[in-house]
Chain A
Amino acid sequence: MKIAVLSGKGGTGKTTVSTNLAYMMNFNYVDLDVEEPNGHIFLNPDISETQEVFIPTPVINAEKCTLCGVCANTCQFNALINTGKKILVFEDLCHGCGACSLACPEDAITEYNRKIGDITIGTFAKGKFYSGKMLLQEPMAGPIISDIKKILPVDEDSIIDCSPGTSCNVVKAIDESNYAIMVTEPSKFGLHDLKLAIELVREMKMPLGIIINRSNEYDHLIEDYAASENIPVIGKIPFSKEAAKMYSIGKLLIENEEIKNIFEAIKLSVLKAVKEENHAISHS
């Protein structure tokens, strides 16, 4: 089972929910927020292995190249420019798709592996730990996300901590998950961004539930919307200075008995929803 944790915007508590829930449920924890992975801070994993992530990037063999420009016309990302004297390669624009080398009529393009990030693998107290990290000044998160997803053990349960927002990287991260948890805050911004994230999850046809973080007297903003859309609110985590302090020093919130009970209830709702969904699928 794979449970994806999303948030319409950053800083709503997505990593808090992911790490605490992974711990609570004895699931693997997978940090796909590769621009700024933070899960390690809360889970203190023992790292056993680091893998580098590469993308194949073209190299033009000047001896074979006739400057026909087919490669530059083929590339959809403006990564190749034909100056008339030379084909310039703008590596940071390259998606590593290989279209140019397939298109080159002179067989003048080969590829080398360019490093764009790292994957760390290890274990924490309750399961396996995976985390991707993009090198700074590298724009491409997608291949790191795909690479981690390829090495995840298929038949094990995992919590997937996605990047914030609703970008194509989030789609990559939640693809093939069984359930989506949306973490939001009780504010108009929170609601606005939540709606966008829900639109995305609905397109991927996945059951979902909402967690209201920093719950306060304005929760009705989110609750009214959830009710009108028939989406369950599966948990509310109240704001407390104590919780904020625990977070700030990298502690799991479930060390607090009250919050632990909230996560216990969240865990049960998720398990129940996934079970019902599987039931519905096997009967259709």
Chain B
Amino acid sequence: MQLVILSGKGGTGKTTIVSSFAYLADQSTIKVDCDVDASNLHLMFNGKDISSSQFSGSKKAIIDSDKCIGCGLCEKACRFDAIIPKDGYYEVMEHRCEGCNACRVVCPADAITLEEEDSGKKIMTVLEDESYLSRASLYPGADGSGKLVSEIRKASLELNKGKNNLIIIDGSPGVGCSVMASITGVEFGLLVTEPTQSGFEDFVRAYELAKHFRIKSYVAINKYDLNEEMADTIERYCDDNGIKVIGRIPYDVVVNKSNFESKPLVMYNDSIAGNEIKNMWNIIKNEMEV
């Protein structure tokens, strides 16, 4: 069973909810942090990395200046404007190169090679309660987030082989390739949104994506009391589309404290938002029947 927590955009309180769920879930639950650009979940728990392996998400072209005859065919072939003339030969601007191979195909002097880029790391972490967290760190500016997400999810499924444990996935933000990679094959989704015009638009986009992937979606409205009118609009949309709203999380200053101290919000008994998240967890557990 896999549950993904999504927010159209980051910063809607998704990490607050995921870390709380991770804390409330039992020790057999496997966690996956698909925010590979900026993986955060491990900061909330004391964990130990038990393995780490190199990840290559793309290749980069390299021109051997000894072999280059300066014909410029590569520059014409490259659709990403990544090749520029320099001192009679040509050079690749690494940050523009998509590693597509077009330049190598046309080079008559065999001067171009494609080399694997060192794009990041896949990491398996064991948390304090001895549960597993599969995560990654993509280097700034590197390519291949979608592929990296698929790989860390694969690692979580391997841990779960022959077992039927719950896997909680902290989905990537946005609606692009890494989000698609974080939700394919997942049964349940919790969409976290905020009662703002932009939050609503992002939520609708994320919901449509989840629907396309046949995920059974639930909704939580974070800081619903900052604009109750907008919260009502979102609820109406959910009603009309048959999506269950399982949480209305109030604005709560304890969230700042929990962020600062890097502890899951549900550990603070005086947190009204934390209590609502506890309720949500019970509801979603029932819905998934685990």
* Residue positions of A touching B, CB distance < 8 A: 8-12, 15, 35-36, 38, 41, 74-77, 95-99, 102-103, 134, 136-137, 139-142, 146, 163-172, 175, 185-190, 192-193, 196-197, 199-200, 203-204, 216-218, 221, 241, 244-245, 247-250
Contact of A38 among B102, B176, B201 (CB under 8 A): B201
Interface residues of B in 78-112 (CB under 8 A from A): 79-80, 95-96, 98-102, 105-106
Say whether B47 faces chain A, with CB atoms less than 8 Å apart: no
Q: In whole angstroms, how far apart are the Cα atoms of A134 and B227 in the complex?
A: 28
Q: Are A203 and B101 in contact (CB under 8 A)?
A: no
A and B contact pairs by CB, cutoff 8 A, 16 listed: A9-B35, A10-B173, A15-B198, A38-B198, A96-B79, A97-B101, A102-B105, A165-B37, A166-B37, A167-B37, A167-B142, A186-B260, A203-B95, A245-B227, A248-B199, A248-B230
Q: In whole angstroms, how far apart are the Cα atoms of A9 and B199 in the complex?
A: 15
* Residue positions of B touching A, CB distance < 8 A: 7-12, 15, 35, 37-38, 40, 43, 58-59, 77, 79-80, 95-96, 98-102, 105-106, 114, 138, 140-143, 145-146, 173-177, 180, 194-199, 201-202, 205, 208-209, 212, 223, 226-227, 230, 251, 256, 259-260, 262
Q: Are A76 and B99 in contact (CB under 8 A)?
A: yes
Q: In whole angstroms, how far apart are the Cα atoms of A7 and B98 in the complex?
A: 23
Q: In whole angstroms, how far apart are the Cα atoms of A76 and B8 in the complex?
A: 30
Q: Are B37 and A196 in contact (CB under 8 A)?
A: yes
Q: In whole angstroms, how far apart are the Cα atoms of A148 and B120 in the complex?
A: 29
15 additional contacts (CB under 8 A) given A97-B80, A99-B77, A193-B38: A36-B174, A36-B201, A76-B59, A76-B101, A97-B102, A136-B175, A146-B80, A164-B9, A165-B37, A166-B38, A185-B11, A189-B43, A197-B140, A218-B259, A248-B230
A137 with B209: in contact, given A35-B175, A36-B174 (CB under 8 Å)? yes
Q: How many A-B residue pairs have CB under 8 A?
A: 184
Q: Are A163 and B174 in contact (CB under 8 A)?
A: yes
Min CB distance B148 to A, Å, is 11
Q: In whole angstroms, how far apart are the Cα atoms of A185 and B141 in the complex?
A: 21
List A contacts of B40 (CB < 8 A). Answer: 9, 189, 192-193
Q: Which 4 A-B pairs have the closest CB atoms?
A: A11-B11, A10-B10, A139-B177, A97-B100
A11 with B197: in contact, given A35-B174, A96-B79, A203-B141 (CB under 8 Å)? no
Q: Are A136 and B208 in contact (CB under 8 A)?
A: yes
Q: Are B79 and A248 in contact (CB under 8 A)?
A: no
Q: In whole angstroms, how far apart are the Cα atoms of A203 and B140 in the complex?
A: 9
Contact of B105 among A11, A95, A99 (CB under 8 A): A99
Q: In whole angstroms, how far apart are the Cα atoms of A246 and B79 in the complex?
A: 43
Contact of B198 among A99, A171, A250 (CB under 8 A): A250
Q: In whole angstroms, how far apart are the Cα atoms of A236 and B260 in the complex?
A: 18
Contact of A99 among B8, B43, B101 (CB under 8 A): B101
Min CB distance B268 to A, Å, is 15
Q: Chain B: which residue is nearest A188 at the CB level?
A: B262
Min CB distance B271 to A, Å, is 15
Min CB distance B96 to A, Å, is 7
A171 with B208: in contact, given A9-B38, A10-B174 (CB under 8 Å)? no
List A contacts of B95 (CB < 8 A). Answer: 168, 171, 175, 203-204
A11 with B10: in contact, given A98-B79, A139-B146, A247-B196 (CB under 8 Å)? yes
Contact of B43 among A11, A164, A169, A192 (CB under 8 A): A192
